[in-house]
Amino acid sequence: MEISKVGVLGAGLMGHGIAQVAAQAGYDVVLREVDQARLDKGIGRIEKQLGRAVEKGRMEQSDADAVRGRINGTLDYADYADCDLVIEAITENLQQKLDMWRELDGIVNDGAVLATNTSSLSVIDQAAATRRPGRFVGLHFFNPAQVMPLLEVVQTVTTDEESLKTGFEFGERLGKTCVHAKDKTGFIVNRLLVPYMLDAIRAYEEGVGSIDQIDAAMKAGANHPMGPFTLLDFVGLDTTKSIADIMFDEYRERRFAAPPTLRKMVAAGFYGQKSGRGFYDYSGDKPVAVDPGL
Ligand code: CAA
C-alpha cells in the first residue's frame, strides 16, 4: 500500500523521534500533542537534533529545512483525516489509548493502517476497539528512535497480510531492521531485555557487585553500549516498572516481577535520567552511581 502522509500521536520521548525519522524518509508527517507547550517541546527536540546533524556534517542545511518543513504540529485530530498510516506513541495507558482510537477511528480514512508503538500492552486490545482490527499493527521503535536500528512489526490475530506488509515497507523505507513478532506481551526484545535489567537489580540486592561494577562488567564483558543500570536510568525506572508489572500480570513469572529496590525508587520519584536521579545522580558533570540505600 502506498503511504504518503503519516500521522504520529504524542510528541514525547518516542513520538518526536518517530516523527523525525518518518520525515527524514520523505513522508509528510502530522504530529499531535494535547497542548501547545508539549507540542513545542517535541518539535523543539526535533529541531535540535536536525541542527546537530547539520553541525556534524551529516546533513545539509537545505535537507534539514526540508525535513522540518514536512512535519506539521497540531492539537487537532481532524488533521489526521487523510493520513495513510497513523502511529500512536502516547502514554502507556490502555484506557487513554482506547479513548484516543475511538475518537480518531471515525476521522481517519477507512483505507489507512493504524499502529501502536506500545512496548508492553497487547496490540489486540487496541485493534479490537477500532472498526478496523484487520488494519491494525504494532510498530515498536526503540529509544532513541533516530539511532536504534530495530523496528518490531507486530501481527495480532486479526492483522491482515496487506497491513503487515505495509508495516514492513514503512520500516524498510525508514532504514530500520524489521523483525516480525507475534502479539505476545513484550514481543521479542522486552521479553528478553526486561528480565535482564530486573536481574541486574537482583544481583545488586544480593551483593554480587556495586552498581558501577555491574555496569562496567556488562560493557566490557558483553560489549553492551551501556551497562544495565545506565540503561535502566535511560529507559526510565517508572517506565521499566510499568512494563515489568504488565508482563508479570500477563505471565505470572518471577523473572518479570519488579524487585523491591525498583518499586521503592519509583515511589521516591527517582526515575533515572529524566528526573536527575536513578541508580546514578545526574546533577554533576558526569553521572555518579548512588547506593539506593533501600
Ligand atoms: N536522539 C537522536 N540522536 C541521538 C540521541 C537522541 N536521543 N542520542 C544519541 N544520538 C546520536 C548522537 O547524535 C550520535 O550521533 P553522531 O555519532 O552522528 O554524532 C550517536 O547517536 C551516538 O551518540 P553519543 O556519542 O552521544 O553516545 P553513544 O555513542 O554512547 O550512543 C546510544 C548513545 C545510541 C544511546 C548508545 O549508548 C546505545 O545504543 N545505548 C543503548 C540504547 C538502548 O538499548 N536502547 C533501547 C532501550 S529499550 C527500548 O527502547 C524498548 C522499550 O520498549 C523500553
pLDDT in tens, 229-266: 999 999 999 999 999 999 999 999 999 999 999 999 99
- Cα torsion 245, 248, 254, 256: sign: negative
pLDDT range class, residue 110, cuts 50, 70, 90:
very high
Q: At what angle do helices 237-251 and 228-235 cross, to 10 degrees?
A: 90
Residue of minimum CA distance from atom 53 in ligand 1? 119
CA of 69 to the centre of ligand 1 (A): 25
Query: How many angstroms separate the CA atoms of 186 and 195, rounded?
Result: 11
The C-alpha cell at 114 is: 493504524
pLDDT above 80 (res 283): yes
At 103, the pLDDT band (50, 70, 90 cuts) reads very high
3-state DSSP assignment of residue 227: coil
**Rg of the chain (C-alpha set):** 20
Where does ligand 1 bind, in terms of residues with CB under 6 Å?
49, 52, 56, 58, 119, 142-144, 146-148, 190, 225-226, 231, 235
The residue whose C-alpha atom lies closest to atom 43 belonging to ligand 1 is 143
- Kindly state the average pLDDT of the residues 144-168: 98
Tell how far the Cα of 146 is from the centroid of ligand 1, in angstroms.
8
Residues 122-147 have a mean pLDDT of: 97
In this prediction the pTM is: 0.96
| Separation CA 75–CA 281 (nearest Å) | 35
Work out the pLDDT band at 11, boundaries 50, 70, 90.
Answer: very high
The mean of the pLDDT values for the chain is 97
Q: Is 237 helix (H, G, I), strand (E, B) or coil?
A: helix
* Residues recognised as catalytic: 119, 140, 152, 190
How far apart are the CA of 173 and the centre of ligand 1, in A?
20
How far is ligand 1, taken at its centre, from the CA of residue 143, in Å? 7
Range list of H helices, the chain: 13-24, 36-55, 61-69, 94-105, 123-127, 161-173, 189-205, 211-222, 228-235, 237-251, 260-267
pLDDT digits (tens, 9 = 90+) for 72-90: 999 999 999 999 999 999 9
The pLDDT tens digits for 186-206 are 999 999 999 999 999 999 999
CA 132–ligand 1 middle distance (angstroms): 35
Cα(56)–Cα(72) distance, integer angstroms: 25
Other CB atoms within a 10 A radius of the CB of residue 242 amount to: 19
What are the tens digits of pLDDT across the range 206-227? 999 999 999 999 999 999 999 9
Q: Quick one: cell of 253?
A: 513469572
For the chain, the residue count is: 294
pLDDT at 77: 97
The answer to whether domain 5-182 has CATH 3.40.50.720 is yes
Identify the burial level of 109 via C-beta atoms within 10 angstroms of its C-beta, where 0-12 means exposed, 13-18 middle and 19 or more buried: exposed
| CA angle, residues 219, 224, 229, in degrees to nearest 5 | 70
CATH of the domain spanning 190-289, picked from 3.40.1030.10, 1.10.1040.10, 1.20.120.10, 3.40.30.10: 1.10.1040.10
Q: Which of 123, 141, 147, 191 to mutate to test the pocket of ligand 1 (most atoms within 8 A of CB)?
A: 147
Is the preceding omega at residue 144 within 30 degrees of 0, hence cis? Answer: yes
Mean pLDDT of 12-26: 97
Nearest of 208, 194, 293, 202 to residue 237 by alpha carbon: 194
The ligand 1 atom nearest the CA atom of 143: 50
Looking at ligand 1, which atom is closest to the CA of residue 240?
Answer: 54
pLDDT at 102: 95
- In terms of Cβ atoms closer than 10 Å to its own Cβ (0-12, 13-18, 19+), residue 38 is middle
Residues in contact with 92: Cβ distance below 8 Å, sequence separation at least 6, in sequence order? 118, 119, 120, 121, 239, 242, 243
The Cβ of residue 35 has, within 10 Å, a number of other Cβ atoms equal to: 9
Q: Which amino acid is at 126?
A: Q
Give 137's strand partners: 115
Vertex 272: Cα angle to 214 and 54 (nearest 5):
100
pLDDT at 294 over 90: no
Three-class SS of residue 84?
coil
Q: Which residue's CA is the nearest one to ligand 1's atom 44?
A: 231
Question: Which atom of ligand 1 lies nearest, measured to the CA of 17?
Answer: 1
| Residue spans per domain, the chain | 5-182, 190-289
